[in-house]
Amino acid sequence: MRTPRYQITEVTPSLCQAIYETSRNTYIVIGKKVDPKKVGLERKVGENELAVEIPKELLENISKGKGEKWD
């Protein structure tokens, strides 16, 4: 497994879909890839961007603690 260039903290523990907080003051979201045209977002998603879908409860439970940190 490759070591990340910055520290990552799992914000929402989950097996498949999750939100990670980075030491760069950003979040990484892992979810299911969505075709922007199929959901009416073709003008909102840039060429270097990707739309992902995550379960609603993932965001609703975001304040319930932090997970494991990776160095």
pLDDT at residue number 43: 93
pLDDT of 66 above 60? no
Q: What is the pTM of this model?
A: 0.65
Average pLDDT score over residue span 8-30: 81
* Contact assessment for residue 52 and residue 31, using Cβ atoms and an 8 Å cutoff: yes
Torsion on CA atoms 64, 68, 5, 24, rounded to nearest 10: 20
Task: Pick the closest to residue 21 from 11, 32, 36, 34 (CA basis).
Answer: 11
Average pLDDT over residues 29-43: 93
Domain locations in the chain as residue ranges? 8-70
Give the chain's count of helices (H) and strands (E): 1, 6
The answer, yes or no, to whether residue 71 has pLDDT greater than 80, is no
User: What average pLDDT does range 26-50 have in this prediction?
Assistant: 93
